[in-house]
A and B are shown apart, each in its own frame.
Chain A
Amino acid sequence: EVQLVESGGGLVQPGRSLKLSCVASGFTFSNYGMNWIRQAPGKGLEWVAYISSGSSYIYYAETVKGRFTISRDNAKNTLYLQMTSLRSEDTALYYCARQTLRHFDYWGQGVMVTVSS
């Protein structure tokens, strides 16, 4: 069974940093591109970042480019999102999602990030 389990969220002050993790199981993690997608409270879905299976290709949404860094450790079956210079508008539930055939086929349960003073 495919499982994606996010962690690392919490309450953080504006301008500070936070690092999210997503541990994958039930599939060969190193064979799949992975994404971070977020959902602000009561809002819709916003794609944040993508990393290819071997980390050769990395893309970001304009809203986070230069502040967020996506990475992965295939030996640990783990995806990361390093978030710096956090803003109130980054407050959201962050999901990791597996990508196959150019779509998001499995999603984690999400981890909440709240940016507030």
Chain B
Amino acid sequence: DVVMTQTPPSLSVAIGQSVSISCKSSQSLVYSDGKTYLHWLLQSPGRSPKRLIYQVSNLGSGVPDRFSGTGSQKDFTLKISRVEAEDLGVYYCAQTTHFPPTFGAGTKLELK
């Protein structure tokens, strides 16, 4: 299975600060169709996961443009500009290029 390694495991931030989360995969996530199926999810406290970004850099509907995703092959980054209180929770990267789909262990974003 493809191993997804997220760093850091946790982040303590102040409102308005910008942060980045890294996600590295054990294999290239470029699929045979040329697309890269790396996605980002947010699980707010006590809630189910919510899609943020799909295919590296595409914002899900209703997701503010403070969120952005970059990367290629095996190295990906989620950036949150100007963190707001509603952004707190656990961020997961996920890959669906290879079977089975796998997730990172998560990065917990907390308030400083």
Contact = CB atoms under 8 A, between A and B. Distances in A.
A11 interface: no
Given A95-B48, A102-B37, A103-B96, A45 B54 contact: no
Nearest to A93: B48
A62 B101 CA distance: 12
A45 B92 contact: yes
B51 to A, nearest CB: 5
Contacts of A107: 48-51
B94 A45 contact: yes
By size class, the interface of chain B is 20 to 34
Contacts of B8: none
Given A45-B49, A95-B48, A103 B37 contact: yes
A44 B51 contact: no
What's the dominant secondary structure at chain A's contact region?
Answer: strand
Interface string B93-112: 01011011111111000000
Contacts, number: 51
Given A44-B92, A45-B92, A45-B94, A104 B51 contact: yes
A52 to B, nearest CB: 14
Interface in B30-85: 31, 37, 39, 41, 48-51, 54-55, 60
Given A44-B106, A45-B92, A103 B100 contact: no
A106 interface: yes
A13 interface: no
Q: Which A-B residue pairs are the 8 nearest by beta carbons? A: A45-B103, A47-B101, A103-B54, A107-B48, A103-B39, A102-B96, A102-B37, A105-B51
26 contacts: A35-B101, A44-B92, A44-B105, A45-B49, A45-B92, A45-B94, A47-B100, A47-B102, A47-B103, A61-B100, A62-B100, A95-B48, A95-B49, A101-B55, A102-B96, A103-B37, A103-B51, A103-B55, A103-B94, A103-B96, A104-B39, A104-B41, A105-B54, A107-B49, A107-B50, A109-B48
